[in-house]
């Protein structure tokens, strides 16, 4: 149950019971879930977004999300992740789906929730980071 790589220094970070969130010096937000597994509900998604908004202060960042430790996510939580509050701090989103379960949850998010910013599923973290960094999602 691997967390995201710590290949870059943290600018800031915080952790809740369910979530680990940090901004790297490379300008990418990392959104991880605390192993071994999490059942995400709307309240947690809102709590994390409020904490992030305090730190990002209106600036939007590319974000890397790791779904490997997510066992379930309610429709309300997924809708929130694709909604205007999240859009205040996210410019593009690469979703790590290294397991079959993560791929299912990620596919539902991509297909049904359809956020207004670019979203893509990845199984390789380096490719995901490269996609977020090189701005390919902007074209």
In the complex, which residues of this chain contact another protein (CB under 8 A)?
A: 36-37, 69, 71-72, 74-75, 99-101, 103-105, 108, 112
Closer by beta carbon to another protein, 37 or else 117 = 37
Q: What distance in Å separates the CA atoms of residue 48 and residue 56, rounded to the nearest whole number?
A: 12
- The answer to whether 96 touches 67, Cβ cutoff 8 Å, is yes
Closer by beta carbon to another protein, 100 or else 139 = 100
Helix, strand or coil for residue 12? strand
Closer by beta carbon to another protein, 91 or else 99 = 99
Tell me how far, at minimum, the Cβ of 73 lies from another protein, in Å: 9
- Strands 29-33, 90-96: pairing kind: unpaired
Tell me how far, at minimum, the Cβ of 100 lies from another protein, in Å: 4
Q: What distance in Å separates the CA atoms of residue 97 and residue 62, rounded to the nearest whole number?
A: 17
Tell me how far, at minimum, the Cβ of 31 lies from another protein, in Å: 18
Closer by beta carbon to another protein, 7 or else 72 = 72
Q: What distance in Å separates the CA atoms of residue 86 and residue 17, rounded to the nearest whole number?
A: 20
Residues in the chain: 139
Tell me how far, at minimum, the Cβ of 78 lies from another protein, in Å: 9
């Amino acid at each position: 149950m691997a967390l995201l790589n710590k290949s870059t220094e943290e600018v800031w970070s915080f952790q809740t019971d369910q979530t680990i969130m940090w901004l790297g010096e490379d300008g990418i937000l990392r959104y991880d879930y605390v192993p071994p597994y999490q059942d995400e509900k709307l309240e947690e998604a809102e709590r994390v977004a409020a904490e992030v908004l305090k730190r990002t202060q209106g600036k939007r960042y590319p974000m890397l999300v790791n779904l490997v430790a997510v066992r379930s996510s309610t429709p309300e939580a997924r809708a929130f992740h694709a909604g205007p509050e999240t859009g205040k701090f996210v410019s593009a989103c690469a979703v790590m789906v290294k397991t079959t379960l993560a791929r299912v949850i990620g596919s539902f998010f991509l297909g049904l929730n359809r956020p207004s910013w670019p979203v893509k599923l990845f199984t390789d973290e380096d490719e995901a980071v490269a996609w977020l960094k090189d701005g390919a999602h902007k074209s």
